[in-house]
Amino acid sequence: MSHKMKLLPLIVILLLFGCAAQGPATGGQVDKKGPLLISIQPENGSLNITTDQKITFIFDELLDPVSIPASILIESDLDYSLKIRGRKLIIIPEKKWPTNRIVRVNLSRKIRDYQKNMMDKPIQ
């Protein structure tokens, strides 16, 4: 009986790996379009945002996180951190956003999806 119990974990592992599809998914249309911006929170042109407000960009598809850090320019020379969560890009100020100045966030068109497709145009 103990010999059979030793084989049980091995059998379970073999069953789990045997059921999974090996390789990329097939079928469907080929993705040739870059990410498209769906929304910005807070809205573009918002006034009186809080000094610690996160700025969130939501796209229509998953973003390649490697392409993002070099594709962002904030004109106020402020330190910030980035979070990339699937289709969301979140910019968080390290300290605080300035209170009496415009904060311009520029996203270059070099932001890509996982198929290496870049955005059609830059965003400001």
pLDDT at position 51 is 87
pLDDT at position 92 is 93
Three-state secondary-structure class, residue 74 = strand
Q: What is the pLDDT of residues 68-88, one digit of tens each?
A: 999 999 877 788 999 999 899
Indicate if the pLDDT at residue 59 is higher than 60: yes
Give the C-alpha separation, 74 to 89, whole Å.
14
- Amino acid, single-letter form, for residue 24: P
58: confidence class by pLDDT, cuts 50, 70, 90? very high
122: confidence class by pLDDT, cuts 50, 70, 90? very high
Answer whether 0.85 is exceeded by the pTM: no
Q: What is the pLDDT of residues 10-29, one digit of tens each?
A: 777 766 666 555 545 566 78
Strands (E) in the chain, as ranges, are 37-41, 55-59, 72-74, 80-85, 88-93, 105-107
107: confidence class by pLDDT, cuts 50, 70, 90? very high
Give the C-alpha separation, 117 to 33, whole Å.
6
User: What percent of the chain clears pLDDT 70, i.e. is strictly above it?
Assistant: 85
Task: Return the DSSP state at 53.
Answer: -
Give the C-alpha separation, 81 to 96, whole Å.
12
Q: How many residues does the chain have?
A: 124
Three-state secondary-structure class, residue 41 = strand
